[in-house]
């Protein structure tokens, strides 16, 4: 019986090639999108699951208060680890780690810059690091290190254990072990080596002091809970640990400790005003919902196209019923056709996914693969095919099997007055969904452009920075380095700083100034730099002046931004400031506020001061007319002269700034692609409805033409029905799109006001696409010989 069903289903597919191609391609497109999104969602939800202790690991965070601002940070002082381990039996293990940072590894003439961590020995067991060679116990040896498998292969090829690398051109460290690379969807995906924290502490006196300094927030702290412990019971216990150990300045920040479980690191680490408002999980929900809706659109197309062919199948149903077929047998027959079409569509979708996955990975910033050998994947595919075929084929199956044989065989079959309502409702749903996606995409793009047009407060053309990775370049004489760079003829200016202009910051809650209320503790960010930093980066002054080498007093000068000037209030030029180090500094200039980090958020009061001791970056400004490639070679030659042990690596400010938009641009691109596919799939659906309408009104069209109606009159009559459906979709979709777009924009402090042009443009686009889609069917019906129309009806 089932063989017969599938045989007939295959013959129907072959006989109606155009219908079959449209139906299968629509389903394949919808299923391909759904599968790609499902892979992405699975990758996001399985983030960090590779760690054996996934459900017991957590990271220490703190809520701190700066004036009226509440922040949640995961920077902790180094003594925090020991304090937690000794005071609370609920922690099986605690470890301190540095923040990821590139370091230079050299083997003879081979030099590489890779990201790594300074960790304590217990880190390896806590995060279940899998060793390939050697032993993780090497982290107990101050002069050893562990390499990832790929890094070890790049440096040594084979047998890396026991060999030595020069670390940051400072000390030789022995490779005591090689570990499996951290998975791409894990917190430590970029980490390529581990070095003992004891080595970092021994590297300098400043590092040694950090290990006992409760005021220096420069580390991460990870905890492993015992089996019977929970975050909920530990949070109140660790709440005051940092507060109890802090100085008066530290206590003024009112730090409150809390634990963030590993299961929340990736998707739920979005803190606003001290509260966890979620994070990447909103993208999981958004794209997961889009995937479901796109698949629904494809299934709706199947329903519309199947029911549009109803009159061609009506006599078949009538004959089968007369011959004794039960309704459930007819339902099974039509479901069999659905299963066959969905199976063919799934194979095509799978091919599309395989071919597009490398492109999709690049777009989404992932390294996803199809788990062919996974039994669960095969099971999921079968379930996916079954559910999709049931979803797509159930309505046509029950609709077609409901025809009455007497009416059909007499030729009196005619769809009821309300028969088209379900199809019209489905088309309205399709276009409403498409309009929401179109408007959402346009809002995302408008928000990105709005942020890109935000005044920066500095120049970014022809400026790049080089990280100081070794002592050789850090200790190089500033004036000598500057003179040699300027002597190349390609460098316009050069400066050093603690952070690049688009980089991070340091904060200080103990800054005082004349007239400051002692009770106030606002967050003021800082950057130490050389005299030439403002001119190199093109700072825009609104008051006062730049640092001057001609004035010895400028070594204690301060330049502040407008937000800091507003905070201090009054005439700020000449006012004294104290950073808490016992030395007063004088404000000599006020600059425009700058976009130093994410351009979507509020910036902070910021100050620049002279300090040549703290420098971690060299910023270089090239002459405007210089050929960049040639200029970089000349700059590299100078840098290598001072530090030949490190590879020459640089970042242009415009590239650095563009990187700030990567996440939003990725969302905009994906949303645009999905919106385009939704429109395409919706057009297939309305094409099917147009075919159905034309077949139902064949006699009417013939009579109208006999009575003198023109082709244009018939086109307008048939198209008008679809225009009304789309207009209704526009009216339904606009408020829905406005609500969700407005909710999405609320996450940004600096956001665009939605323009009515976006909504009007989306509606107009939907109308134009609809008219273009239905015109083929309507003109085809309008051009048919009216005699033939009346006779065949």
Question: Are 458 and 501 a contacting pair, CB within 8 Å?
Answer: yes
Compute the distance between CA of residue 652 and CA of residue 465 in angstroms, rounded to an integer: 7
Q: What is the pLDDT of residue 10?
A: 65
Nearest by Cα to 607 from 477, 505, 720: 505
First to last CA, the chain: 34
- Mapped onto helix, strand or coil, the DSSP state of residue 356 is helix
In the prediction, which pLDDT does 277 show?
62
Domain coordinates in residue numbering, the chain: 1-47+281-414, 57-265, 421-454+658-793, 463-657
Instruction: Give whole-number Cα distances, 623 to 157, 464, 549, 641, 761, in Å.
Output: 43, 12, 22, 21, 44
Among residues 506, 468, 451, the alpha carbon closest in space to that of 658 is found at 451
Task: Work out the number of other CB atoms within 10 angstroms of the CB of residue 573.
Answer: 14
pLDDT at 119: 94
Alpha-carbon distance of 261 to 48, in angstroms, equals 11
Q: Are 149 and 178 in contact (CB under 8 A)?
A: yes
Nearest Cα to 220, choosing from 182, 269, 184? 269
The pair of structure tokens assigned to 40 is 């992405």
Q: What is the pLDDT of residue 126?
A: 94
Q: What is the pLDDT of residue 793?
A: 44
Query: b vs e for 16-33, b when ≥16 Cβ sit within 10 Å of the residue's Cβ?
Result: eeebbebbbbbbbbbbbb
CA distance 483 to 493: 10
pLDDT value, residue 396: 65
Q: Which residue has the tokens 């209704």?
A: 728
Q: Is the dihedral of CA 182, 187, 192, 195 positive or negative?
A: negative
Q: Which of 617, 644, 621 is nearest to 631 (CA)?
A: 621
Alpha helices in 501-581 (DSSP H): 533-537, 562-568
Beta bridge partners of 606: 525
Q: Are strands 576-578 and 506-508 parallel, antiparallel or unpaired?
A: unpaired
Token match 């002459």: residue? Answer: 623
What pLDDT score does 273 carry? 61
Beta-bridged to residue 133, according to DSSP, are 178
Query: What pLDDT does residue 123 have?
Result: 94
Whole-number Cα distances in Å, 487 to 478, 480, 481, 482, 631: 14, 11, 10, 9, 12
Give the chain's residues under pLDDT 70.
1-18, 67-68, 249, 271-279, 305-331, 333-334, 391-393, 395-420, 423, 504, 508-509, 580-582, 688-689, 691-698, 705, 711, 777, 779-793
């Amino acid at each position: 019986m089932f063989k017969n069903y599938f045989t007939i289903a295959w013959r129907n597919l072959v006989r109606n090639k155009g219908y079959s191609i449209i139906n299968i391609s629509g389903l394949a497109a919808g299923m391909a999108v759904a599968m790609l999104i499902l892979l992405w969602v699975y990758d996001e939800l399985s983030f960090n699951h590779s760690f054996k202790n996934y459900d017991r690991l957590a990271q220490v965070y703190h809520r701190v208060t700066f004036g009226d601002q509440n922040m949640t940070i995961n920077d902790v002082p180094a003594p925090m680890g020991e304090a937690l381990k000794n005071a609370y039996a609920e922690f099986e293990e605690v470890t301190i780690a540095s923040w990821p940072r590139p370091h230079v590894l050299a083997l003879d003439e081979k030099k590489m810059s890779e990201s790594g961590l300074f960790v304590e020995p217990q880190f390896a067991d806590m995060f279940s690091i899998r060793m390939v060679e050697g032993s993780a116990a090497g982290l107990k040896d101050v002069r050893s290190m562990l390499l990832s498998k790929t890094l070890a292969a790049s440096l040594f090829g084979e047998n890396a254990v026991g060999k030595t690398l020069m670390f940051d051109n400072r000390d030789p460290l022995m490779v005591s072990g090689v570990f499996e690379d951290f998975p791409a969807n894990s917190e430590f995906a970029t980490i390529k080596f581990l070095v003992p924290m004891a080595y970092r502490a021994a590297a300098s006196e400043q590092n040694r002091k950090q290990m006992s300094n409760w005021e220096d927030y420069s580390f991460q702290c990870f905890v492993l809970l015992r089996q019977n412990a929970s975050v909920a019971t530990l949070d109140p216990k660790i709440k005051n640990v940092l507060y109890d150990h802090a100085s008066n300045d530290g206590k003024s920040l009112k730090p409150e400790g809390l634990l963030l479980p590993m299961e929340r690191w990736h998707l739920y680490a979005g803190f606003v005003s001290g509260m966890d408002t979620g994070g990447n999980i909103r993208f999981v929900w958004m794209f997961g919902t889009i995937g479901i809706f796109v698949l629904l659109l494809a299934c709706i197309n199947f329903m519309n196209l199947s029911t549009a062919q109803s009159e061609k199948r009506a006599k078949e149903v009538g004959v089968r019923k007369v011959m004794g077929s039960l309704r459930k047998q007819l339902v099974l027959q039509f479901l069999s056709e659905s299963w066959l079409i969905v199976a063919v569509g799934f194979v095509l979708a799978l091919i599309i996914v395989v071919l597009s996955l490398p492109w999709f990975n690049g777009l989404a910033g992932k390294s996803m693969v199809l788990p062919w050998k996974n039994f669960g994947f095969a099971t999921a595919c079968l379930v996916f095919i079954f559910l999709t075929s049931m979803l797509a084929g159930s309505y046509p199956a029950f609709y077609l099997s409901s025809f009455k044989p007497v009416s059909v065989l007499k030729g009196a079959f005619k769809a009821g007055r309300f028969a088209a309502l379900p199809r019209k409702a489905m088309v309205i749903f399709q276009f409403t969904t498409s309009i929401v996606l179109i408007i959402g995409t346009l809002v995302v793009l408008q928000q990105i452009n709005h942020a890109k047009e935000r005044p920066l407060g500095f120049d970014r053309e022809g400026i790049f920075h080089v990280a100081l990775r070794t002592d050789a370049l850090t200790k190089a004489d500033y004036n000598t380095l500057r003179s040699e760079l300027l002597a190349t003829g390609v460098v316009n200016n050069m400066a050093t700083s603690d952070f690049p202009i688009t980089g991070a910051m340091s904060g200080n809650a103990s800054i005082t100034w004349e007239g400051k209320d002692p009770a106030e503790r606002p967050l003021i960010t800082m950057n130490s730099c050389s005299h030439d930093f403002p001119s190199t980066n093109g700072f825009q002054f609104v008051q006062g002046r730049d640092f001057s080498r001609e004035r010895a007093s400028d070594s204690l000068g301060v330049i502040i931004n407008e937000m800091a000037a507003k905070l201090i209030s009054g005439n700020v030029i000449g006012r004294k400031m104290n950073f808490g180090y016992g030395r007063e500094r004088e404000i000599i200039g006020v600059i425009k506020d700058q976009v130093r980090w994410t351009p979507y958020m509020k910036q902070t009061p910021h100050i620049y001061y002279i300090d040549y001791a703290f420098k971690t970056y060299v910023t270089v400004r090239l002459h405007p007319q210089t050929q960049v490639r040639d200029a970089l070679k000349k700059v590299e030659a100078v840098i290598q002269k001072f530090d030949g042990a490190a590879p020459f690596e640089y970042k242009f400010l415009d590239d650095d700034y563009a990187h700030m938009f990567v996440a939003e641009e990725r969302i905009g691109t994906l949303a645009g692609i999905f919106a385009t596919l939704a429109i395409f799939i919706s057009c297939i659906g309305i094409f099917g409805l147009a075919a159905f309408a034309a077949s139902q009104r064949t006699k009417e069209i013939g009579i109208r033409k006999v009575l003198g109606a023109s082709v244009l009159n018939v086109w307008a009559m048939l198209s008008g029905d679809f225009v009304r459906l789309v207009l209704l979709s526009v009216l339904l979709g606009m408020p829905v799109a406005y609500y969700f777009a407005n909710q999405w924009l609320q996450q940004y402090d600096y956001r665009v006001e939605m323009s009515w042009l976006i909504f009007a443009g989306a509606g107009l686009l939907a109308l134009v696409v609809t008219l273009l889609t239905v015109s083929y069917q309507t003109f085809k019906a309008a051009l048919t010989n009216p005699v033939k129309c009346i006779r065949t009806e």
